[in-house]
Structure 1
Protein backbone atom coordinates (compact mmCIF):
# COMPACT_ATOMS: atom_id res chain seq x y z
CA UNK A 1 0.00 0.00 0.00
CA UNK A 2 1.43 3.33 -1.04
CA UNK A 3 0.16 5.03 2.09
CA UNK A 4 2.84 3.54 4.35
CA UNK A 5 5.58 4.85 2.07
CA UNK A 6 3.95 8.26 2.03
CA UNK A 7 3.84 8.34 5.82
CA UNK A 8 7.56 7.62 6.00
CA UNK A 9 8.12 10.69 3.83
CA UNK A 10 6.00 12.95 5.98
CA UNK A 11 8.90 13.83 8.28
CA UNK A 12 10.64 15.40 5.29
CA UNK A 13 7.43 17.16 4.24
CA UNK A 14 6.97 18.57 7.71
CA UNK A 15 10.54 19.79 7.89
CA UNK A 16 9.88 21.69 4.69
CA UNK A 17 6.61 22.89 6.20
CA UNK A 18 8.48 24.78 8.90
CA UNK A 19 10.18 27.01 6.35
CA UNK A 20 6.94 27.20 4.37
CA UNK A 21 5.01 28.37 7.38
CA UNK A 22 7.60 31.04 8.13
CA UNK A 23 7.39 32.25 4.54
CA UNK A 24 3.62 32.26 4.78
CA UNK A 25 3.80 34.34 7.94
CA UNK A 26 5.91 36.90 6.14
CA UNK A 27 3.53 37.05 3.19
CA UNK A 28 0.23 36.91 5.02
CA UNK A 29 1.11 38.38 8.42
CA UNK A 30 -1.44 37.90 11.14
CA UNK A 31 -2.63 34.49 12.25
CA UNK A 32 0.38 32.24 11.70
CA UNK A 33 3.06 32.80 14.37
CA UNK A 34 1.66 30.27 16.87
CA UNK A 35 1.04 27.75 14.13
CA UNK A 36 4.62 28.06 12.96
CA UNK A 37 5.59 26.56 16.30
CA UNK A 38 3.02 23.84 15.72
CA UNK A 39 4.83 22.80 12.56
CA UNK A 40 7.98 22.21 14.60
CA UNK A 41 6.02 20.15 17.10
CA UNK A 42 4.41 18.21 14.27
CA UNK A 43 7.82 17.26 12.87
CA UNK A 44 8.84 15.75 16.19
CA UNK A 45 5.72 13.58 16.35
CA UNK A 46 5.24 12.80 12.64
CA UNK A 47 5.86 9.07 13.04
CA UNK A 48 4.30 8.58 16.47
CA UNK A 49 0.86 7.09 16.88
CA UNK A 50 -1.67 8.76 19.16
CA UNK A 51 -4.29 6.08 19.58
CA UNK A 52 -7.36 7.33 21.37
CA UNK A 53 -10.35 5.16 22.18
CA UNK A 54 -11.17 1.48 21.61
CA UNK A 55 -10.46 -0.49 18.45
CA UNK A 56 -12.76 0.98 15.80
CA UNK A 57 -15.54 -0.81 13.96
CA UNK A 58 -17.37 0.25 10.83
CA UNK A 59 -20.59 0.68 12.79
CA UNK A 60 -18.82 2.90 15.33
CA UNK A 61 -17.37 5.35 12.81
CA UNK A 62 -20.66 5.53 10.90
CA UNK A 63 -22.57 6.47 14.06
CA UNK A 64 -23.55 9.98 15.01
CA UNK A 65 -21.59 9.68 18.24
CA UNK A 66 -18.49 7.69 19.09
CA UNK A 67 -17.06 6.32 22.34
CA UNK A 68 -16.05 9.60 24.04
CA UNK A 69 -18.29 11.73 26.20
CA UNK A 70 -17.87 15.41 25.36
CA UNK A 71 -18.70 18.86 26.63
CA UNK A 72 -18.89 22.29 24.99
CA UNK A 73 -17.51 25.77 25.53
CA UNK A 74 -19.10 28.83 23.95
CA UNK A 75 -16.56 31.31 22.56
CA UNK A 76 -17.68 34.94 22.21
CA UNK A 77 -16.78 37.23 19.35
CA UNK A 78 -13.05 37.47 18.76
CA UNK A 79 -11.10 40.23 16.96
CA UNK A 80 -10.59 38.14 13.80
CA UNK A 81 -13.57 35.75 13.77
CA UNK A 82 -17.01 35.78 15.34
CA UNK A 83 -16.53 33.19 18.07
CA UNK A 84 -18.12 29.75 17.95
CA UNK A 85 -18.36 26.54 19.94
CA UNK A 86 -15.63 24.19 21.11
CA UNK A 87 -16.57 20.53 21.50
CA UNK A 88 -14.05 18.54 23.53
CA UNK A 89 -13.74 15.03 25.02
CA UNK A 90 -14.12 15.05 28.80
CA UNK A 91 -11.71 12.12 29.20
CA UNK A 92 -8.41 13.27 30.72
CA UNK A 93 -6.81 9.83 31.01
CA UNK A 94 -5.52 9.44 27.44
CA UNK A 95 -3.43 12.57 26.99
CA UNK A 96 -4.04 15.41 24.59
CA UNK A 97 -6.20 15.31 21.47
CA UNK A 98 -5.86 16.65 17.98
CA UNK A 99 -7.58 19.96 17.21
CA UNK A 100 -9.85 20.76 14.26
CA UNK A 101 -11.30 24.12 13.20
CA UNK A 102 -14.35 24.06 10.90
CA UNK A 103 -15.92 26.90 8.90
CA UNK A 104 -19.51 27.13 7.68
CA UNK A 105 -20.40 28.13 4.13
CA UNK A 106 -21.69 31.29 2.50
CA UNK A 107 -24.58 32.94 4.42
CA UNK A 108 -24.47 30.16 7.06
CA UNK A 109 -23.40 30.13 10.69
CA UNK A 110 -21.94 27.43 12.91
CA UNK A 111 -25.31 25.70 13.35
CA UNK A 112 -24.88 24.27 9.83
CA UNK A 113 -21.71 22.44 10.87
CA UNK A 114 -22.61 21.61 14.48
CA UNK A 115 -22.94 17.89 13.81
CA UNK A 116 -19.23 17.71 12.98
CA UNK A 117 -18.45 19.14 16.40
CA UNK A 118 -20.54 16.52 18.15
CA UNK A 119 -19.46 13.58 16.02
CA UNK A 120 -15.75 14.33 15.85
CA UNK A 121 -15.44 15.24 19.54
CA UNK A 122 -17.07 11.93 20.43
CA UNK A 123 -14.33 10.21 18.43
CA UNK A 124 -11.52 11.92 20.31
CA UNK A 125 -10.86 15.36 18.80
CA UNK A 126 -11.19 18.90 20.11
CA UNK A 127 -13.37 20.60 17.51
CA UNK A 128 -13.94 24.34 17.05
CA UNK A 129 -16.94 25.21 14.87
CA UNK A 130 -16.64 28.90 14.13
CA UNK A 131 -18.81 31.77 13.03
CA UNK A 132 -17.10 33.92 10.45
CA UNK A 133 -16.87 37.68 10.80
CA UNK A 134 -19.53 38.05 8.13
CA UNK A 135 -21.73 35.33 6.65
CA UNK A 136 -20.69 36.78 3.28
CA UNK A 137 -16.94 36.30 3.82
CA UNK A 138 -15.10 34.83 0.85
CA UNK A 139 -12.98 31.64 1.02
CA UNK A 140 -9.62 33.35 1.50
CA UNK A 141 -10.96 35.24 4.50
CA UNK A 142 -12.45 32.04 5.90
CA UNK A 143 -9.08 30.33 5.54
CA UNK A 144 -7.36 33.01 7.60
CA UNK A 145 -10.12 32.81 10.19
CA UNK A 146 -9.66 29.04 10.47
CA UNK A 147 -5.98 29.56 11.25
CA UNK A 148 -6.82 32.29 13.76
CA UNK A 149 -9.30 29.91 15.38
CA UNK A 150 -6.60 27.25 15.75
CA UNK A 151 -4.30 29.85 17.31
CA UNK A 152 -7.04 30.67 19.80
CA UNK A 153 -7.81 27.00 20.44
CA UNK A 154 -4.21 26.12 21.27
CA UNK A 155 -3.06 29.36 22.86
CA UNK A 156 -5.91 31.08 24.69
CA UNK A 157 -8.97 28.85 25.00
CA UNK A 158 -10.03 27.32 28.28
CA UNK A 159 -9.40 23.83 26.84
CA UNK A 160 -5.94 24.56 25.40
CA UNK A 161 -4.30 22.04 27.74
CA UNK A 162 -6.36 19.29 26.10
CA UNK A 163 -5.10 20.09 22.58
CA UNK A 164 -1.85 18.90 21.00
CA UNK A 165 -0.59 21.95 19.03
CA UNK A 166 1.35 19.63 16.74
CA UNK A 167 -1.79 17.82 15.54
CA UNK A 168 -4.12 20.32 13.91
CA UNK A 169 -6.54 20.16 10.99
CA UNK A 170 -9.13 22.25 9.17
CA UNK A 171 -12.43 21.54 7.46
CA UNK A 172 -15.32 23.49 6.03
CA UNK A 173 -18.44 23.45 3.88
CA UNK A 174 -18.85 25.31 0.57
CA UNK A 175 -16.93 28.59 0.88
CA UNK A 176 -15.73 27.18 4.20
CA UNK A 177 -14.34 24.25 2.21
CA UNK A 178 -12.54 26.73 -0.01
CA UNK A 179 -11.32 28.29 3.22
CA UNK A 180 -9.92 24.92 4.31
CA UNK A 181 -8.02 24.69 1.02
CA UNK A 182 -6.67 28.20 1.54
CA UNK A 183 -5.67 27.51 5.14
CA UNK A 184 -3.78 24.40 3.99
CA UNK A 185 -1.98 26.45 1.36
CA UNK A 186 -1.03 29.13 3.89
CA UNK A 187 0.07 26.66 6.54
CA UNK A 188 1.58 23.39 5.23
CA UNK A 189 2.29 22.24 8.81
CA UNK A 190 -1.35 21.25 9.24
CA UNK A 191 -1.92 17.52 9.53
CA UNK A 192 -5.13 17.22 7.50
CA UNK A 193 -7.81 19.11 5.59
CA UNK A 194 -11.39 18.12 4.73
CA UNK A 195 -13.17 20.44 2.26
CA UNK A 196 -16.86 19.53 1.81
CA UNK A 197 -18.54 20.49 -1.50
CA UNK A 198 -15.96 23.29 -1.62
CA UNK A 199 -16.07 26.55 -3.55
CA UNK A 200 -13.09 28.66 -4.61
CA UNK A 201 -12.26 30.71 -7.68
CA UNK A 202 -8.65 29.49 -7.51
CA UNK A 203 -8.54 26.12 -9.26
CA UNK A 204 -4.90 25.04 -8.91
CA UNK A 205 -3.60 23.84 -5.54
CA UNK A 206 -0.36 22.24 -6.69
CA UNK A 207 1.56 23.90 -3.85
CA UNK A 208 -0.74 22.45 -1.21
CA UNK A 209 0.87 19.43 0.48
CA UNK A 210 -1.43 18.86 3.48
CA UNK A 211 -3.19 15.45 3.37
CA UNK A 212 -6.60 16.36 1.96
CA UNK A 213 -9.90 14.52 1.55
CA UNK A 214 -12.41 16.36 -0.65
CA UNK A 215 -16.12 15.53 -0.70
CA UNK A 216 -18.18 16.33 -3.76
CA UNK A 217 -21.87 15.72 -4.47
CA UNK A 218 -23.17 14.25 -7.73
CA UNK A 219 -26.15 16.63 -8.01
CA UNK A 220 -24.46 19.76 -6.68
CA UNK A 221 -25.74 22.65 -8.82
CA UNK A 222 -24.14 25.35 -6.64
CA UNK A 223 -20.55 24.09 -6.89
CA UNK A 224 -20.68 21.45 -9.64
CA UNK A 225 -17.97 18.86 -9.09
CA UNK A 226 -16.54 19.30 -12.59
CA UNK A 227 -15.83 22.95 -11.85
CA UNK A 228 -14.82 22.66 -8.22
CA UNK A 229 -14.26 19.47 -6.14
CA UNK A 230 -12.87 17.31 -8.95
CA UNK A 231 -10.63 20.08 -10.24
CA UNK A 232 -9.34 20.85 -6.76
CA UNK A 233 -8.52 17.17 -6.15
CA UNK A 234 -6.75 16.79 -9.50
CA UNK A 235 -4.62 19.88 -8.89
CA UNK A 236 -3.51 19.10 -5.32
CA UNK A 237 0.19 18.68 -4.70
CA UNK A 238 -0.47 16.60 -1.60
CA UNK A 239 0.92 13.07 -1.98
CA UNK A 240 -1.86 11.89 0.35
CA UNK A 241 -5.24 12.90 -1.05
CA UNK A 242 -8.68 11.43 -1.66
CA UNK A 243 -11.88 12.41 -3.44
CA UNK A 244 -15.30 11.01 -2.54
CA UNK A 245 -18.36 11.92 -4.58
CA UNK A 246 -21.69 11.33 -2.87
CA UNK A 247 -24.24 9.49 -4.99
CA UNK A 248 -27.32 11.70 -5.48
CA UNK A 249 -25.81 14.20 -3.06
CA UNK A 250 -26.52 17.92 -3.28
CA UNK A 251 -24.58 21.00 -2.21
CA UNK A 252 -26.22 20.96 1.20
CA UNK A 253 -25.83 17.24 1.94
CA UNK A 254 -22.86 17.94 4.27
CA UNK A 255 -24.87 20.22 6.58
CA UNK A 256 -26.81 17.25 7.98
CA UNK A 257 -25.41 14.09 9.53
CA UNK A 258 -24.41 11.59 6.85
CA UNK A 259 -22.98 8.14 7.61
CA UNK A 260 -20.65 8.13 4.60
CA UNK A 261 -19.22 11.56 5.37
CA UNK A 262 -18.84 10.55 9.02
CA UNK A 263 -17.03 7.30 8.19
CA UNK A 264 -14.49 8.78 5.83
CA UNK A 265 -13.95 12.02 7.75
CA UNK A 266 -13.32 10.19 11.03
CA UNK A 267 -11.01 7.67 9.34
CA UNK A 268 -9.06 10.39 7.48
CA UNK A 269 -8.57 12.53 10.56
CA UNK A 270 -7.66 9.57 12.75
CA UNK A 271 -5.08 8.44 10.25
CA UNK A 272 -3.45 11.81 9.61
CA UNK A 273 -4.02 13.79 12.79
CA UNK A 274 -3.46 10.85 15.17
CA UNK A 275 -1.34 8.68 12.83
CA UNK A 276 -3.62 5.88 14.00
CA UNK A 277 -3.09 3.01 11.57
CA UNK A 278 -6.11 1.14 12.90
CA UNK A 279 -8.19 3.31 10.58
CA UNK A 280 -6.36 2.46 7.35
CA UNK A 281 -8.76 -0.37 6.63
CA UNK A 282 -11.71 2.05 6.44
CA UNK A 283 -10.02 3.95 3.62
CA UNK A 284 -8.36 1.15 1.67
CA UNK A 285 -8.99 -0.78 -0.45
CA UNK A 286 -10.87 1.93 -2.29
CA UNK A 287 -14.63 1.36 -2.15
CA UNK A 288 -16.35 0.58 -5.46
CA UNK A 289 -18.95 2.91 -6.89
CA UNK A 290 -22.44 2.04 -5.72
CA UNK A 291 -24.79 2.72 -2.87
CA UNK A 292 -23.93 6.08 -1.30
CA UNK A 293 -20.70 6.50 -3.30
CA UNK A 294 -20.76 7.74 -6.89
CA UNK A 295 -16.97 7.79 -7.21
CA UNK A 296 -13.88 7.41 -5.04
CA UNK A 297 -10.29 8.26 -5.91
CA UNK A 298 -7.30 8.06 -3.64
CA UNK A 299 -3.53 8.05 -3.75
CA UNK A 300 -3.54 6.10 -0.47
CA UNK A 301 -4.76 2.90 -2.04
CA UNK A 302 -2.47 2.87 -5.07
CA UNK A 303 -0.31 -0.21 -5.44
Structure 2
Protein backbone atom coordinates (compact mmCIF):
# COMPACT_ATOMS: atom_id res chain seq x y z
CA UNK A 1 0.00 0.00 0.00
CA UNK A 2 1.50 3.36 -1.03
CA UNK A 3 0.27 6.77 0.08
CA UNK A 4 -3.45 6.25 -0.36
CA UNK A 5 -3.63 3.47 -2.93
CA UNK A 6 -2.59 -0.13 -3.22
CA UNK A 7 0.76 0.29 -4.93
CA UNK A 8 1.57 0.23 -8.60
CA UNK A 9 4.10 0.72 -11.37
CA UNK A 10 5.51 3.96 -12.76
CA UNK A 11 6.19 3.98 -16.49
CA UNK A 12 8.12 6.86 -18.04
CA UNK A 13 10.19 7.68 -21.12
CA UNK A 14 13.93 7.48 -20.59
CA UNK A 15 14.89 9.64 -23.58
CA UNK A 16 12.67 12.71 -23.12
CA UNK A 17 15.34 15.01 -21.70
CA UNK A 18 14.85 17.66 -24.39
CA UNK A 19 11.07 17.51 -24.49
CA UNK A 20 10.26 19.82 -21.59
CA UNK A 21 7.74 18.89 -18.93
CA UNK A 22 5.51 15.87 -19.57
CA UNK A 23 1.89 15.05 -18.87
CA UNK A 24 1.10 12.65 -16.04
CA UNK A 25 -1.57 9.95 -16.15
CA UNK A 26 -2.98 7.56 -13.53
CA UNK A 27 -4.72 4.31 -14.52
CA UNK A 28 -6.99 2.31 -12.20
CA UNK A 29 -8.70 -1.11 -12.54
CA UNK A 30 -12.31 -2.06 -11.97
CA UNK A 31 -14.17 -3.75 -9.15
CA UNK A 32 -12.56 -7.04 -8.00
CA UNK A 33 -9.78 -6.49 -10.55
CA UNK A 34 -6.06 -5.89 -10.35
CA UNK A 35 -3.40 -3.69 -11.92
CA UNK A 36 -2.67 -6.40 -14.47
CA UNK A 37 -5.99 -5.68 -16.21
CA UNK A 38 -5.00 -2.12 -17.09
CA UNK A 39 -1.19 -2.23 -16.94
CA UNK A 40 -0.79 -2.38 -20.73
CA UNK A 41 -1.61 1.34 -20.89
CA UNK A 42 1.59 2.17 -19.00
CA UNK A 43 4.30 1.29 -21.51
CA UNK A 44 2.12 2.34 -24.45
CA UNK A 45 1.61 5.87 -23.16
CA UNK A 46 5.12 6.20 -21.73
CA UNK A 47 6.59 5.40 -25.14
CA UNK A 48 4.71 8.45 -26.43
CA UNK A 49 6.03 10.87 -23.84
CA UNK A 50 3.82 10.55 -20.76
CA UNK A 51 4.63 9.63 -17.18
CA UNK A 52 2.10 6.96 -16.23
CA UNK A 53 1.26 5.14 -13.02
CA UNK A 54 -0.83 1.97 -13.20
CA UNK A 55 -2.15 0.99 -9.80
CA UNK A 56 -3.83 -1.57 -7.63
CA UNK A 57 -6.53 -0.37 -5.27
CA UNK A 58 -6.30 -0.76 -1.49
CA UNK A 59 -8.95 -3.46 -1.77
CA UNK A 60 -10.45 -5.02 -4.88
CA UNK A 61 -13.82 -4.22 -3.29
CA UNK A 62 -13.25 -0.46 -2.97
CA UNK A 63 -16.24 1.67 -3.95
CA UNK A 64 -16.52 4.56 -6.41
CA UNK A 65 -15.60 7.31 -3.98
CA UNK A 66 -12.56 5.36 -2.85
CA UNK A 67 -11.41 4.75 -6.43
CA UNK A 68 -11.77 8.44 -7.19
CA UNK A 69 -9.66 9.31 -4.16
CA UNK A 70 -7.05 6.69 -5.06
CA UNK A 71 -6.76 7.98 -8.65
CA UNK A 72 -6.07 11.44 -7.27
CA UNK A 73 -3.59 10.04 -4.74
CA UNK A 74 -1.75 8.22 -7.54
CA UNK A 75 -1.39 11.48 -9.47
CA UNK A 76 -0.03 13.17 -6.34
CA UNK A 77 2.37 10.27 -5.89
CA UNK A 78 4.03 10.67 -9.29
CA UNK A 79 4.11 14.46 -8.92
CA UNK A 80 6.13 14.02 -5.72
CA UNK A 81 8.22 11.05 -6.82
CA UNK A 82 11.97 11.64 -6.60
CA UNK A 83 12.65 10.07 -9.99
CA UNK A 84 9.87 11.41 -12.22
CA UNK A 85 8.16 14.21 -10.29
CA UNK A 86 10.36 16.96 -11.69
CA UNK A 87 9.55 15.82 -15.24
CA UNK A 88 5.76 16.31 -14.89
CA UNK A 89 3.70 19.44 -15.50
CA UNK A 90 1.27 19.47 -12.57
CA UNK A 91 -1.34 21.27 -14.69
CA UNK A 92 -1.37 18.60 -17.42
CA UNK A 93 -2.83 15.45 -15.91
CA UNK A 94 -5.06 12.62 -17.09
CA UNK A 95 -6.89 9.57 -15.78
CA UNK A 96 -7.95 6.22 -17.21
CA UNK A 97 -10.23 3.74 -15.48
CA UNK A 98 -11.97 0.52 -16.32
CA UNK A 99 -15.48 -0.35 -15.09
CA UNK A 100 -15.91 1.12 -11.60
CA UNK A 101 -12.50 2.67 -12.16
CA UNK A 102 -13.98 4.37 -15.22
CA UNK A 103 -16.66 5.78 -12.96
CA UNK A 104 -13.88 7.00 -10.71
CA UNK A 105 -12.24 8.77 -13.65
CA UNK A 106 -15.53 10.51 -14.49
CA UNK A 107 -15.94 11.61 -10.89
CA UNK A 108 -12.33 12.76 -10.57
CA UNK A 109 -12.73 14.94 -13.66
CA UNK A 110 -15.43 16.93 -11.88
CA UNK A 111 -13.28 17.44 -8.79
CA UNK A 112 -9.72 18.00 -10.01
CA UNK A 113 -9.52 20.58 -12.77
CA UNK A 114 -5.87 19.90 -13.56
CA UNK A 115 -7.13 16.63 -15.05
CA UNK A 116 -7.37 17.67 -18.69
CA UNK A 117 -8.45 14.39 -20.28
CA UNK A 118 -9.88 11.04 -19.24
CA UNK A 119 -10.54 7.65 -20.80
CA UNK A 120 -13.43 5.87 -19.05
CA UNK A 121 -13.57 2.24 -20.23
CA UNK A 122 -16.94 0.49 -19.89
CA UNK A 123 -17.61 2.94 -17.04
CA UNK A 124 -19.86 2.12 -14.10
CA UNK A 125 -21.25 4.81 -11.82
CA UNK A 126 -24.47 4.62 -9.81
CA UNK A 127 -24.55 8.15 -8.38
CA UNK A 128 -24.82 11.70 -9.69
CA UNK A 129 -21.26 12.88 -10.29
CA UNK A 130 -22.40 16.29 -11.57
CA UNK A 131 -21.53 18.09 -14.78
CA UNK A 132 -18.48 16.65 -16.51
CA UNK A 133 -16.87 18.90 -19.13
CA UNK A 134 -13.41 17.32 -19.24
CA UNK A 135 -12.51 15.86 -22.67
CA UNK A 136 -13.42 12.17 -22.47
CA UNK A 137 -12.77 9.19 -24.73
CA UNK A 138 -15.36 6.54 -23.88
CA UNK A 139 -14.34 2.96 -24.68
CA UNK A 140 -17.32 0.62 -24.62
CA UNK A 141 -18.09 -2.99 -25.50
CA UNK A 142 -21.08 -3.99 -27.62
CA UNK A 143 -22.15 -7.00 -25.54
CA UNK A 144 -21.44 -5.62 -22.08
CA UNK A 145 -23.74 -7.47 -19.67
CA UNK A 146 -22.21 -6.04 -16.48
CA UNK A 147 -22.29 -2.28 -17.14
CA UNK A 148 -24.62 -2.15 -20.13
CA UNK A 149 -24.12 0.68 -22.59
CA UNK A 150 -27.81 1.58 -22.49
CA UNK A 151 -27.81 2.07 -18.72
CA UNK A 152 -24.33 3.46 -18.16
CA UNK A 153 -21.90 4.54 -20.87
CA UNK A 154 -24.47 5.93 -23.32
CA UNK A 155 -26.14 8.25 -20.77
CA UNK A 156 -22.70 9.26 -19.45
CA UNK A 157 -21.60 10.07 -22.99
CA UNK A 158 -24.74 12.04 -23.77
CA UNK A 159 -24.38 13.97 -20.51
CA UNK A 160 -20.73 14.96 -21.07
CA UNK A 161 -20.49 18.60 -22.14
CA UNK A 162 -16.85 18.80 -23.22
CA UNK A 163 -15.02 17.25 -26.15
CA UNK A 164 -16.04 13.61 -26.33
CA UNK A 165 -15.45 10.53 -28.43
CA UNK A 166 -16.90 7.03 -28.26
CA UNK A 167 -15.54 3.76 -29.61
CA UNK A 168 -17.52 0.55 -29.15
CA UNK A 169 -15.78 -2.79 -29.65
CA UNK A 170 -17.86 -5.16 -31.76
CA UNK A 171 -19.05 -8.27 -29.89
CA UNK A 172 -16.97 -7.22 -26.90
CA UNK A 173 -17.86 -8.23 -23.35
CA UNK A 174 -17.39 -6.00 -20.31
CA UNK A 175 -13.78 -7.14 -20.25
CA UNK A 176 -12.91 -6.07 -23.81
CA UNK A 177 -10.61 -3.16 -22.77
CA UNK A 178 -8.40 -5.55 -20.79
CA UNK A 179 -7.86 -8.05 -23.63
CA UNK A 180 -4.40 -7.88 -25.17
CA UNK A 181 -6.10 -8.57 -28.50
CA UNK A 182 -7.54 -5.04 -28.36
CA UNK A 183 -4.41 -3.28 -27.15
CA UNK A 184 -3.26 -1.96 -30.53
CA UNK A 185 -6.81 -1.07 -31.58
CA UNK A 186 -7.40 1.04 -28.46
CA UNK A 187 -3.94 2.48 -27.94
CA UNK A 188 -4.01 4.52 -31.17
CA UNK A 189 -7.03 6.68 -30.23
CA UNK A 190 -6.02 6.60 -26.56
CA UNK A 191 -2.55 8.02 -27.19
CA UNK A 192 -3.95 10.56 -29.65
CA UNK A 193 -6.64 11.63 -27.17
CA UNK A 194 -4.16 12.27 -24.40
CA UNK A 195 -1.82 14.21 -26.66
CA UNK A 196 -4.66 16.27 -28.10
CA UNK A 197 -6.22 17.25 -24.78
CA UNK A 198 -3.51 16.95 -22.14
CA UNK A 199 -0.87 18.56 -24.33
CA UNK A 200 -3.17 20.59 -26.59
CA UNK A 201 -1.42 19.16 -29.65
CA UNK A 202 -3.79 19.58 -32.60
CA UNK A 203 -1.56 17.46 -34.84
CA UNK A 204 -3.23 14.45 -33.24
CA UNK A 205 -6.68 15.43 -34.52
CA UNK A 206 -5.95 13.41 -37.65
CA UNK A 207 -5.82 10.23 -35.57
CA UNK A 208 -9.18 10.93 -33.94
CA UNK A 209 -11.26 12.17 -36.87
CA UNK A 210 -10.65 9.45 -39.44
CA UNK A 211 -13.87 7.56 -40.05
CA UNK A 212 -11.87 5.22 -42.28
CA UNK A 213 -9.96 4.03 -39.24
CA UNK A 214 -12.82 3.84 -36.75
CA UNK A 215 -16.33 4.04 -38.16
CA UNK A 216 -15.49 1.63 -40.97
CA UNK A 217 -13.31 -0.72 -38.95
CA UNK A 218 -14.98 -4.17 -38.83
CA UNK A 219 -13.91 -4.59 -35.20
CA UNK A 220 -15.71 -1.40 -34.14
CA UNK A 221 -19.51 -1.43 -33.89
CA UNK A 222 -20.01 2.27 -33.07
CA UNK A 223 -17.91 5.41 -33.39
CA UNK A 224 -18.69 9.02 -32.61
CA UNK A 225 -16.61 12.15 -32.18
CA UNK A 226 -18.21 15.54 -31.77
CA UNK A 227 -15.17 17.72 -32.39
CA UNK A 228 -14.01 16.94 -35.92
CA UNK A 229 -13.80 20.01 -38.13
Q: TM-score, normalised by structure 1?
A: 0.71
Distance 1:275 1:85 in 2: 26
| 1:222 Cα offset (Å) | 1.0
- Contact preservation (8 Å) 1:102, 1:171: yes
Aligned to 1:233: 157
Aligned to 2:83: 158
1:62-141 correspondence runs (5 A): 77-91=1-15, 92-141=17-66
| 1:117 Cα offset (Å) | 0.5
Higher RCO (CA 8 Å, separation ≥ 6 residues)? 1
Give the structure with higher Rg (CA). Answer: 1
- Contact preservation (8 Å) 1:217, 1:251: yes
In structure 2, relative to structure 1, the CA distance for the partners of 1:248 and 1:161 (3 Å cut) is same
Over 4 Å off, 4+ runs: none
Deviation per residue, 1:244-276 (Å, 9 max, x gap): 111111111111332221111011001011112
- For residue 72 of structure 2, the aligned residue among 147, 162, 170 is 147
Deviation per residue, 1:14-56 (Å, 9 max, x gap): xxxxxxxxxxxxxxxxxxxxxxxxxxxxxxxxxxxxxxxxxxx
- Contact preservation (8 Å) 1:103, 1:172: yes
- Contact preservation (8 Å) 1:115, 1:256: no
Whose helix proportion is higher, 1 or 2?
A: 1
- Contact preservation (8 Å) 2:3, 2:73: no
Distance 1:189 1:90 in 2: 24
Q: Are 2:192 and 1:273 aligned?
A: no
- For residue 217 of structure 1, the aligned residue among 141, 147, 154 is 141
Q: Are 2:121 and 1:196 aligned?
A: yes
Aligned to 1:33: none
RMSD: 1.5
Distance 1:246 1:157 in 2: 39
> How many residues were matched structurally?
224
Aligned to 2:227: 300
- Contact preservation (8 Å) 1:84, 1:110: yes
Deviation per residue, 1:2-22 (Å, 9 max, x gap): xxxxxxxxxxxxxxxxxxxxx
Larger CA deviation: 189-198 vs 153-162 = 153-162
- For residue 165 of structure 2, the aligned residue among 227, 236, 242 is 242
Aligned to 1:30: none
Q: Are 2:131 and 1:207 aligned?
A: yes
Deviation per residue, 1:91-140 (Å, 9 max, x gap): 12222211000001111111111110111111111100011111111122
Distance 2:171 2:204 in 1: 26
Structure 2 residues not aligned, in runs of 5+: none
